[in-house]
Structure 1
Amino acid sequence: MDQKILKQVSQEENFPESKVAKAINLIKEAGNTVPFVARYRKNETGNLSEDELRSIVERWDYLVNLQDRKAEIIATLEKREKLTPELKEAIQKSETMQELEELYKPYKQKKKTRGMKAKEKGLEPLANKLRQGELKTEAEAESTASDFIDDEQGVNSTDEALQGAQDIIAEQISETVDNRRDVKEIAAPETYLETQLKDQAQDENKVYQDYYDYRENLKKMPLHRAMAINRGEKEGVLKVSLSSPEERIIDKVALRELVSLENAGFSRELVFEAVKDACKRLIIPSIQRELRTSKTEQAEEHAIKIFSQNLERLLMQPPIKGKNVMGIDPAYKSGCKIAVVDYKGDMQEVDVIYPTPPFNKTEQAAKKVISLLNKYQVEIIAIGNGTASRETEEFVSETIEDVELSLEVQYAIVSEDGASVYSASKLAAEEFPELDVQERSAISIARRVIDPLAELVKIDPKSIGVGQYQHDVPQSKLKEAVQFVVEKVVNQVGVDVNTASVHLLRYISGLNKKSAENMVNTRSELGGFDSRAQLTEVKGLGAKTFEQCAGFLRILDGSNPLDKTAIHPESYHIAEGIIAHLNEVPENIGSEALRTGVDSLLNNKNQIQSLCQEFDTDKYTLEDILTGLKKPLYDPREEFDKPRLKKDVMKLEDLSEGMILEGEIRNVVDFGAFVDLGIKEDGLIHISNLSEKFVKHPMEIVSVGDVVQVEIVSIDKDRGRIGLKKV
């Protein structure tokens, strides 16, 4: 293990070297997954979380790759006899890939530059004479330059010879490490990004109006603004330029380059011109590219972080268990598709109604809805929030209010982001080959209420509207971040191995699509798994994979009661010993009597210590086992706010400033949080209205799915905008 990298990761991540070393050994060398290590190897890592483990591993990988790239560049430059002690030192001190590549850029094999062409014409000796101050007068320079005139080489005059010599000098100056460092020191805090309107035709809705004539310090620019400008430039709306303190930079570089040419006369003049050319044409643009690239990378990393955090909270939305649900995919001309699913998510019936314009067949639609509600004992109606959602909500509200139903029915407005993507996918076609796209979408909307996680994992996360500029970031990095979030949530929640889909199982620790498919096939052959031990019968599932996945796969009605808990099979002997210690039997796991016994142990430190010694285990493992015995079916999603259920509808016209309402956080971005108030338009709590105290980022206060009390502070009916303040 590289001790230098170990020390750096330890310092940057603020964890002891011993913890970092353990994490790297467990994940990089022993081949364990992050969810497995976070859950079942707490004692070895000191209870590092999934996010902490991932951060350590990512930083480790980056520094290892950076070190390898440095060695590769140094070897290449040595082979080409281009490596100076100063350049080698600068390469070794590089802290980022971007900084390293900018250092190496002048030495890469590339198209011929002006300086390279001048060297090929034999002008390097003339350049050396100028840099050494040998040509003190213009006459001397002209005379010496005339010796380099060569029609065959394309040097037709003394002016061309001297210009070629200056081109060589300019490139030499630009490749000097100290010059680049000086330029960066000046440019980094004082470079400004400027934007101008390039083509208004590309911005019909004036999305980028704020940037038609804009200037801001690049270093101080908020990250979300950098992303907005990048998008505007990419779409052809904005023209972007950078400006740095050019004169100060030239003076700084000239101070070094001209120090030995104080009395060199004409040589000094020509070298000074080369300094200006080197700064304006080569060094400043290069440093500006580096600074802007660095800003963009920071902004992209931040955008991915925001998206990941929002996605995690969305996936952690609590399920509404034990209720049959009707899903409605609203529409106008094509009608509203409806689907009834039972409490397990199995489709019962699909149909179509036409309560919205242009048909307005509300009576006929109401009869059909009421019939289905009573027939299937539906208690919740899930309405998609897309086109015609408002009209459909009004229809549903009036329908369930005007008639007596066998059960009390409420409705919820459900985000249908990604539902159309899923319903048109190969997966949906395989699941419901006999249904059309809209009918599948209605089923997906209904299932999002019953078990959001199981349904949302089927959808490309980029299609779920809970981020900021996720379409503008490197998709490979976004994919990695999304994969981590989904795996983290799925494994924290755990899955019922006898009902989970391939799409859900493939996110379980140690599994992939192929092993998940094999697991489902074996499940079908066995008629369901009776115990975790039977998982070893799955084709291709070896001892290591079993170790990684077993604790996250639950068997709710199997022969071994421990199989429904999060306790890992490797610790069953400890769990059985504790049950015996409490004079209980495994069948009583989760019972009131056993919970009382477990609580008495958890509240007694001496007992915990004694049991750790008796069963040769650690405190973390023991406490997790006790929690598993106490709450065998624990679901972390239950700790979050459930979706808001309603019976009546509200419109923008019903709102007034000063009203206090309850809403649900739909999306969190850098400048605030969007809130679903139960009407068509979402309200915005600006970051300044989230708290009386200073808030660095909205996520310090709210998360996706939170139910909050808000006060209406402004209403713009023409633009459909509602300003809110968190109460």
Structure 2
Amino acid sequence: MTAQLDQALLKQVTNTLPDIRERQIVATLNLLNDGNTIPFVSRYRKEMTGSLDEVQIRNVQDTWNHFEKLATRKAEVKNSIDEQQALTPKLAQQIDTATTLQAVEDLYLPYKQKRRTKATIAKEAGLMPLAKWLLAFHSEALTHEVKKYINAANDLPDETAVLAGAHEILAEAFSEEASFREFIRDYTRTHAHLVTTVKKNGEQLDEDGVYQQYYDFEQPLTRLAAYQTLAINRGEKANILRVTLSIDTSAILNFLRFRTIGHHNGPAVAVVTDAYEDSYKRFIGPAIERELRNELSDAANAHAITVFGTNLYHLLMQAPMKGKVVLGFDPAYRTGCKLAVIDANGKFLTKLVIYPHKPAPADKRAAAADQFKNLLEKYQVEMIAIGNGTASRESEIFVANVLHQLNRDVQYVIVNEAGASVYSASQAARDEFPDLHVEERSAISIGRRLQDPLAELVKIDPQSVGVGQYQHDVPTKQLTEQLDVVVETAVNQVGINLNTASAELLEHISGLNHTIAINVVAYRNENGRYTDRRQLKKVPRLGPKAYEQAVGFLRIIGGKNPLDNTDIHPESYPAAQKILKLTDTTDAALGSASFIAATKELDQRAIADQTDTGLATVTDILASLAKPGRDLRDDMPAPLLRHDVLTIEDLKPGMELQGTVRNVIDFGAFVDVGVKHDGLVHISKLTKKFVRNPAEVVSVGDIVTVWIDDVDLKRQRIQLTMINENE
């Protein structure tokens, strides 16, 4: 397989990734080319890749794809120029040594098929020799040479028309010179400012003043933040803002004069000067401005997508509330609050609608508390998940009052219900609960989000979960691809219970797709719970490769083989059995202190040699045997449980509270402190140290201690700080 890799591309990838050895890159690419998934390679082929993690493997893949795409484009460009019989050895070398797609396109520009321009017409009229004559800077008078080209038949009736045609040829030629564009692009990128002003009638269109800070705004391109770029783009698209680049052009024009005229003198200097100045004004400047605006947008989009992906990962990896009977509470006013009780395994038990809020009739409001309390007691509900949408805070007050009347400890959690309505109206929700209304399905989803955030959130379009910034402005395809990667990473890192997983969850497992996932569930429904991983081989369309890729990430709790409840791959079961034999460990003793103590005495290198297993794999086997059935999420912060309710009026500057991080964006983090609106911790208030990226300090789902900095009751805004001023 190694010989099939293009050695020139391999060298470029190796030079670009100096921290990864060529041997690792080759092994990784060959594994991926053989149809192995990134989660599988990262977890079960460590000896081959040198223990590269998922991020490094994706980096190898992306870097290879980048250079492969660049090489393909270079070949296309050279073929196109060669067909025009214009490919010189020097030009071919320039294309071959270009390191970016932009550089290749700059070199291709003069040979690109283009619409008929004024310069084209001038060339057709025979003025190309005159343009070359002008660039030779002869000392003869212009009039003598120009008169030779006057030709009424070619629409060149006088000297003015002839010079105008030559001007167009020179201006276009200068605009297509790759070295000119490269310098001007780099200079503009470094020195230009982005300037925004409000358009006429723009303020009327911006009724809420969303873009007010950009009505008269200027910022160097090098200091423009990603969120500013996206906000400005949106304001421009809404016809509220006018956006331009501002730059002192004297250095650019001096560069063009030096490169086109140099130290020459003579009558042609004035003509060439007019041509390069016009070329910059008409062609190069606007093109570079478009390129740099696109460059800014691409970078901002990529950053926003990364922020969204990071937030989504932490949202999916929130600690589950295992083994708890949960009541999902979907708040509402007029239509009543929908309640759904879910057992400890996520099974829907019963539903109820109560009317605790106005404008419901007084008799229904009076009955709501007893109905709610009776439901809690009948099913011995241990935890209540309240959606954070409409009527959430009123419902929280209602719940807190009822809980005070109970003789046992029941707590509640405010759950971010973003996307719950999307799921509730989906085909998957209709298939699972065909007899329930959308709102009732939503209550089930809210409850399950508390029990197992990962299992529930994968059913929802990631763009609907509300943890990004400007996610509706970024390219949908790129966002979807990135979020799919995040979901795949989270699901496979956690591993899932084969006997409870939904098809929506299973399809994100390494090696599986939507069809196979449905078949896995169908087999379970028809034949009963899985008791052995090998039963997966009987699932229709789940072939040997899919089995190899998926089986290690699927758990069977209480099955025939205790190893099936670990992340040990069946191919490594012989090595695991050898370890159990060496430590004289029974199945029941897996994970015990005595087993862990016994493993410390083992010679891992000897086990690796005896079992023909890699040392890294032996290390992973030992870790898995020490913690069978482990869940990475158990180490994450648990949801913040509450008994009592706060209102924004209760908040006073200096008050200390605990809150849950709901969203992390470029300028700070939004924290739920138990009132109607989340508070903002500005980036400058996260810590006393300088922070470039809020994600370095906090993540979605973190439980943090905050202090009230300021409360604006009129605008319902809360400013928080994570800096204890008393320290």
Normalising TM by the smaller chain, what interval? over 0.9
How far residue 587 of structure 1 moved from its aligned partner, in angstroms, is 4.6
Write the mapping of 1:88-167 to structure 2, written as runs, cut at 5 A: 88-134=92-138, 136-140=140-144, 143-145=147-149, 147-150=150-153, 153-167=154-168
Alpha-carbon separation, structure 2, partners of 1:456 and 1:599: 39
Query: Which region of structure 1 is more displaced relative to structure 2, 333-342 or 561-570?
Result: 333-342
Alpha-carbon separation, structure 1, partners of 2:646 and 2:710: 17
TM-score by length of 1: 0.95
Alpha-carbon separation, structure 2, partners of 1:312 and 1:518: 27
Residue 404 of structure 1 corresponds to 406
How far residue 99 of structure 1 moved from its aligned partner, in angstroms, is 4.2
Aligned: 1:200 with 2:228: no
Contact map agreement 2:146 2:162 (CA 8 A) in 1: no
1:212 aligns with one of 212, 215, 240: 215
Alpha-carbon separation, structure 2, partners of 1:690 and 1:242: 33
Paired residue type of 1:226: T
How far residue 268 of structure 1 moved from its aligned partner, in angstroms, is 2.0
Paired residue type of 1:232: G
| 1:105–1:239 CA distance, 2 compared to 1 (3 A) | farther
Alpha-carbon separation, structure 2, partners of 1:696 and 1:320: 34
How far residue 683 of structure 1 moved from its aligned partner, in angstroms, is 1.1
Residue 247 of structure 1 corresponds to 250
After superposition, give the CA deviation of every residue in 1:670-717 in whole Å (9 maximum; x if it has no partner).
Answer: 111111101111111111111121212111111111101111122222
Query: Which region of structure 1 is more displaced relative to structure 2, 6-15 or 456-465?
Result: 6-15
Residue 615 of structure 2 corresponds to 619
After superposition, give the CA deviation of every residue in 1:286-336 in whole Å (9 maximum; x if it has no partner).
Answer: 222222222222211111111111100000011101111111111122221
2:84 aligns with one of 80, 102, 127: 80
How far residue 42 of structure 1 moved from its aligned partner, in angstroms, is 1.4
After superposition, give the CA deviation of every residue in 1:371-396 in whole Å (9 maximum; x if it has no partner).
Answer: 11111111111111111111111111
Q: Which ranges in structure 1 are unaligned for 5 or more consecutive residues?
A: none
Residue 677 of structure 1 corresponds to 673
Alpha-carbon separation, structure 2, partners of 1:230 and 1:90: 35
Alpha-carbon separation, structure 2, partners of 1:319 and 1:292: 43
Residue 435 of structure 1 corresponds to 436
Write the mapping of 1:707-718 to structure 2, written as runs, cut at 5 A: 707-718=703-714
Paired residue type of 1:194: V
| 1:440–1:570 CA distance, 2 compared to 1 (3 A) | same
Residue 500 of structure 2 corresponds to 499
| 1:89–1:472 CA distance, 2 compared to 1 (3 A) | farther
How far residue 102 of structure 1 moved from its aligned partner, in angstroms, is 4.6
Contact map agreement 2:661 2:669 (CA 8 A) in 1: yes
Cα-Cα RMSD: 1.9
Alpha-carbon separation, structure 1, partners of 2:658 and 2:35: 47
How far residue 135 of structure 1 moved from its aligned partner, in angstroms, is 7.8
Alpha-carbon separation, structure 1, partners of 2:656 and 2:335: 37
| 1:91–1:450 CA distance, 2 compared to 1 (3 A) | same
Contact map agreement 1:354 1:365 (CA 8 A) in 2: yes
Alpha-carbon separation, structure 2, partners of 1:326 and 1:308: 29
Contact map agreement 2:107 2:177 (CA 8 A) in 1: no
2:717 aligns with one of 686, 704, 721: 721
1:223 aligns with one of 223, 226, 232: 226
* Secondary structure of 1:666 counterpart: strand
| 1:474–1:84 CA distance, 2 compared to 1 (3 A) | farther
Residue 596 of structure 1 corresponds to 594
Residue 5 of structure 1 corresponds to 9
How far residue 722 of structure 1 moved from its aligned partner, in angstroms, is 1.5
Residue 605 of structure 2 corresponds to 609
Alpha-carbon separation, structure 2, partners of 1:231 and 1:33: 37
Residue 235 of structure 2 corresponds to 232
| 1:331–1:121 CA distance, 2 compared to 1 (3 A) | farther
| 1:215–1:339 CA distance, 2 compared to 1 (3 A) | same
Aligned: 1:524 with 2:525: yes
Residue 35 of structure 1 corresponds to 39
* Secondary structure of 1:674 counterpart: strand
How far residue 117 of structure 1 moved from its aligned partner, in angstroms, is 2.4
Write the mapping of 1:327-726 to structure 2, written as runs, cut at 5 A: 327-359=328-360, 361-401=364-404, 403-405=405-407, 407-590=408-591, 592=592, 595-601=593-599, 603-604=600-601, 607-726=603-722
Contact map agreement 2:191 2:220 (CA 8 A) in 1: yes
Alpha-carbon separation, structure 2, partners of 1:235 and 1:310: 28
* Secondary structure of 1:713 counterpart: strand
Contact map agreement 1:339 1:349 (CA 8 A) in 2: yes
| 1:136–1:715 CA distance, 2 compared to 1 (3 A) | farther
Alpha-carbon separation, structure 2, partners of 1:695 and 1:638: 28
| 1:105–1:363 CA distance, 2 compared to 1 (3 A) | farther
Alpha-carbon separation, structure 1, partners of 2:85 and 2:253: 29
| 1:70–1:142 CA distance, 2 compared to 1 (3 A) | closer
Query: Which region of structure 1 is more displaced relative to structure 2, 215-224 or 90-99?
Result: 90-99
Paired residue type of 1:677: V
Alpha-carbon separation, structure 2, partners of 1:392 and 1:366: 11
Alpha-carbon separation, structure 1, partners of 2:46 and 2:86: 50
Contact map agreement 2:137 2:269 (CA 8 A) in 1: yes
Query: Which region of structure 1 is more displaced relative to structure 2, 464-473 or 32-41?
Result: 464-473
* Secondary structure of 2:442 counterpart: helix
Paired residue type of 2:394: E
Residue 70 of structure 1 corresponds to 74
| 1:210–1:333 CA distance, 2 compared to 1 (3 A) | same
Contact map agreement 2:106 2:181 (CA 8 A) in 1: no
Residue 173 of structure 2 corresponds to 172
Query: Which region of structure 1 is more displaced relative to structure 2, 63-72 or 313-322?
Result: 63-72
Identity %: 45
Paired residue type of 1:387: T
How far residue 261 of structure 1 moved from its aligned partner, in angstroms, is 4.1
Query: Which region of structure 1 is more displaced relative to structure 2, 1-10 or 629-638?
Result: 1-10
| 1:336–1:615 CA distance, 2 compared to 1 (3 A) | same
| 1:422–1:102 CA distance, 2 compared to 1 (3 A) | farther
Contact map agreement 2:175 2:279 (CA 8 A) in 1: yes
Alpha-carbon separation, structure 1, partners of 2:103 and 2:83: 22
How far residue 2 of structure 1 moved from its aligned partner, in angstroms, is 2.9
Alpha-carbon separation, structure 1, partners of 2:597 and 2:521: 38
| 1:272–1:718 CA distance, 2 compared to 1 (3 A) | same
Residue 56 of structure 2 corresponds to 52
Contact map agreement 1:689 1:725 (CA 8 A) in 2: yes
* Secondary structure of 1:214 counterpart: strand
Alpha-carbon separation, structure 1, partners of 2:194 and 2:249: 14
Alpha-carbon separation, structure 2, partners of 1:573 and 1:182: 63
Paired residue type of 1:598: I
TM-score by length of 2: 0.95
Contact map agreement 1:362 1:395 (CA 8 A) in 2: no
Contact map agreement 2:585 2:595 (CA 8 A) in 1: no
Alpha-carbon separation, structure 1, partners of 2:427 and 2:99: 45
| 1:599–1:438 CA distance, 2 compared to 1 (3 A) | same
Contact map agreement 1:182 1:253 (CA 8 A) in 2: no
How far residue 397 of structure 1 moved from its aligned partner, in angstroms, is 0.9
Residue 23 of structure 1 corresponds to 28
